[in-house]
Amino acid sequence: MFAILSPAKSLNTDLTAERSRITSPQFLKQAAQLAEMMRGYSPSDLAVLMKLSDKLSALNAARFEEWNIDHQSNDLLPAIDAFNGDVYQGLDVQTLDNAALDRLSERVRILSGLYGLLRPFDAMRPYRLEMGTKLKGQAVQSLPDFWKVQVTESLNELLEGRPLVNLASNEYAAAVDFKSVNGAVISPVFKDRKNGEYKIISFYAKRARGLMARFMVESDARTMDDLRQFDYNGYRYSESLSKDNAPCFIRDPETH
């Protein structure tokens, strides 16, 4: 059983992260093509394109200007340490033991607008390029279309018919051709009770995706039955709210 995650907008720049497992991204040539294309945008262009503040647009224009295909440098972080959003706070990779880290490396992949598909310990240069960014007038106008065949083929080589747990957002999941995935696709749903009803609350759902990935690598989950045992941070499986290949996990406010 394998999982895909979305990246995070928030990045960690703490260079003290563990590097003994570091690997190199598999789609560097394609990433270089996209980075070169993004160099054509001025900071003000990026501000409009990605709805960024002046400070962030200047930072990311400089990042694209400095980006290069060499990913052997000691000043690069593994992707799993570089991303610092809600999903990754739920995953909390720094507290996983070695056996769980081994399974994380083997069974989790991160979708990326710039890199296509990252292994957790792939070296990554800081960037901002969301999968849903519309690049009108460019040779590459749709990032999901640009990546879909390569990402799906790469996942199929990994899966070999085993289940894929989709823990990515809709924006990033668009880079996978799920109809061509060689294995069952399972898309967990996370709901919290609010005003007497169980609802998807974005902040909690993002963190729960990271918690689910953590549960998978800690428990060595291999089947849907294994996945239904997920009980981290107060969540529990709800048979009544679940659908085929969309198990639902619910939580009450007092367990937050």
Half-sphere exposure for 99 (CA within 13 Å, toward CB):
5
pTM confidence score: 0.95
Residue 119 has pLDDT above 90, yes or no: yes
pLDDT recorded at residue 137: 79
- Over the stretch 52-98, which tens digit does the pLDDT of each residue have? 999 999 999 999 999 999 998 777 889 999 999 999 999 999 999 99
Distance CA 226, CA 219 (A): 8
Instruction: Classify burial at 75, counting beta carbons within 10 Å of its beta carbon; exposed 0-12, middle 13-18, buried 19 or more.
Output: exposed
Residue 16 has pLDDT above 80, yes or no: no
pLDDT recorded at residue 106: 96
- Over the stretch 174-232, which tens digit does the pLDDT of each residue have? 999 999 999 999 999 999 999 889 999 999 999 999 999 999 999 999 999 999 999 99
Region 231-235: mean pLDDT is: 96
**108-112 vs 116-118, strand pairing mode:** antiparallel
Residue 256 has pLDDT above 70, yes or no: no
pLDDT recorded at residue 83: 94
Buried b (16+ CB within 10 A) or exposed e, 20-35: ebbeebbbbebbeebb
- Distance in Å from the first CA to the final CA of the chain: 28
pLDDT recorded at residue 248: 98
pLDDT recorded at residue 75: 78
101 alpha carbon, distance to own chain's centre: 16
pLDDT recorded at residue 12: 87
Residue 255 has pLDDT above 70, yes or no: no
pLDDT recorded at residue 254: 67
pLDDT recorded at residue 57: 93
- Over the stretch 131-174, which tens digit does the pLDDT of each residue have? 999 988 788 889 999 999 999 999 999 999 899 999 999 999 99
